[in-house]
Amino acid sequence: MPEAQLALARPIIHHRTPQFTDLFLETRNNLQKILQTQNDVVILASSGTGAMEAAVSNLLSTDEQALAVVTGKFGERWLEICKAHKITCTALHKSAGEACSPEEICQALENHSETRVLLIQACETSTATSHDLELIAQSVHQKFPAVLIVVDAISALLTQPLKADDWGLDIVISGSQKSLGLPPGLAFMSISPSALERIKNNEASSYYFNLSIEVDKQRKGQTAYTPAISLIDALNETTQAILRQDLQKVLAEVELMAHCTREALLALNFRLLSSSPSSAVTAAFPPEGVSAKELIKKLDSKFGVMIAGGQSELKGKIIRIAHLGHLDLIDVFAVISSIELCLLMMGTKTEVGLGLKTALLEAAKTTNLSE
């Protein structure tokens, strides 16, 4: 977004000034609206992983237990963070592409009755798999009212509904570089009163990530340590621009992009990885005989179209197409067209144009475009 890019290039204002405080409080307020919450929002100068560590190291002590839903690489990260802080964390593993149901989570909480915090991804980016957080939060709160729910929504923000207050999500984490389309370097998180109470009564095992201090400072428009000023300036521009739109419509657009992409890929004999596909990103196995690696390389070298591959054990096996950031339906048509042409060049026998036609027909079905 040009406004955000220009904000990044602006001369830096000093952070111990009323001018910065105004900017900060405005940005914080915008984030509250986007996260649909009245809760405190804390902005950190770090990547999203820093905010994940902040949540874990501030909510839990070494003698306390957590349960992590692990459906891919970012789920694994909860375990690694808990390990670094010597916190006991039980893993509820699912195969790549599978989401965890509310029943499975409640069963695990039943089995591990000492659990104080549930750690989960709204969207597991590595497998393009989305969790139904509304249902999960409902079940967990009903049966285990003392368990706090911490959600990594780094890639999920603005790609699936996320109602921190309505659903009772205690901590919701995201960052600057996904749907907000900004350079990386900022993470932010909402913190419910119950989570804050736990944080205040716990001794944080991080120093740079001390949420108790940050909450107090940030309410007054200051930060504990030097903030990433230019990124906050740009975040203010971007969040303002988003809030000028209807959030429901923003969501519907990305959902449509994901839907059209999935249908097009299926028509081209790809197989979806996820049984609970996210709208942030689509992951799929290429048709029989097509190398994912070669396809990704060709898309970049021939058309300048950048899509991702698999991570960890999915490396070389799948393609991943993002739908977040500054993308729209035209980009879906562009990526599907390029894939069709690559498949043709790679000698597959798919009917030419079938993917694109499918995407167009799916798009035409929605009321979004007829308004």
Nearer to a copy of itself, 306 or 344 (CB): 306
Compute the distance between CA of residue 200 and CA of residue 68 in angstroms, rounded to an integer. 23
Q: Residue 301 and residue 96: Cα distance in Å, rounded?
A: 29
Helix (H, G, I), strand (E, B) or coil at 247: helix
Kindly tell me which of 224 and 363 has the beta carbon lying closer to a copy of itself. 224
Of 328, 327, 322, 332, the C-alpha closest to 358 is 332
Our CB check for a copy of itself shows the closer of 11 and 347 to be 11
Tally helices (H) and strands (E) across the chain.
14, 13
Residue whose CB is less far from a copy of itself, 308 or 354: 308
- CA distances (Å), 158 to each of 31, 222, 255, 361, in order? 12, 26, 10, 25
Taken in order 169, 173, 176, 178, is the CA torsion positive or negative? negative
What is the rounded CA–CA span in Å between residue 371 and residue 354? 27
Cβ neighbours of residue 364 closer than 8 Å, sequence gap 6 or more: none
Are 199 and 56 in contact by the 8 Å Cβ rule? The answer is: no
Report d(CA 261, CA 238) in Å as an integer.
26
Give 224 or 256: the residue with its C-beta nearer to a copy of itself: 224
Q: How far is the CB of 232 from a copy of itself (least distance, A)?
A: 9
Q: How far is the CB of 357 from a copy of itself (least distance, A)?
A: 30
Q: At its nearest, how many Å lie between a copy of itself and the CB of residue 183?
A: 4
Phi, psi of 282 (to 5 degrees): -115, 130
Q: State the minimum distance, in angstroms, from the CB of residue 226 to a copy of itself.
A: 4
- Least gap, CB of 339 to a copy of itself (angstroms): 19
State the angle between helix axes of 247-267 and 354-365 in degrees (0 to 180), rounded to the nearest 10: 150
> Is the distance from CB of 31 to CB of 239 less than 8 angstroms?
yes
Beta carbon nearer to a copy of itself, 155 or 239: 155
**HSE value, Cβ hemisphere, 13 Å, CA-based, for 270:** 29
Residues near a copy of itself (CB under 8 A) are 5-6, 8-12, 14-16, 45-50, 53, 80-81, 84-85, 175, 177, 183-186, 203-210, 225-231, 306, 308
CA distance 19 to 229: 11
**Minimal distance, residue 32 CB to a copy of itself, in Å:** 22
Q: Which is nearer to a copy of itself, 47 or 350 (CB)?
A: 47
Q: Shortest approach of a copy of itself to residue 247 CB, angstroms? A: 24
Are the beta carbons of 165 and 37 closer than 8 angstroms? yes
Q: Which is nearer to a copy of itself, 244 or 326 (CB)?
A: 326
Q: Report in angstroms how near the CB of residue 50 gets to a copy of itself at its nearest.
A: 4
**Residue pair 124/136 in contact by the 8 Å Cβ criterion:** no
Q: What is the nearest approach in angstroms of a copy of itself to the Cβ of residue 306?
A: 6
Nearer to a copy of itself, 150 or 268 (CB): 150
Minimum Å gap between C-beta 126 and a copy of itself is 13
Number of residues that this document lists for the chain: 371
Q: What is the DSSP letter of 166?
A: H
Nearer to a copy of itself, 8 or 344 (CB): 8
Tokens, residue 320:
């991943």
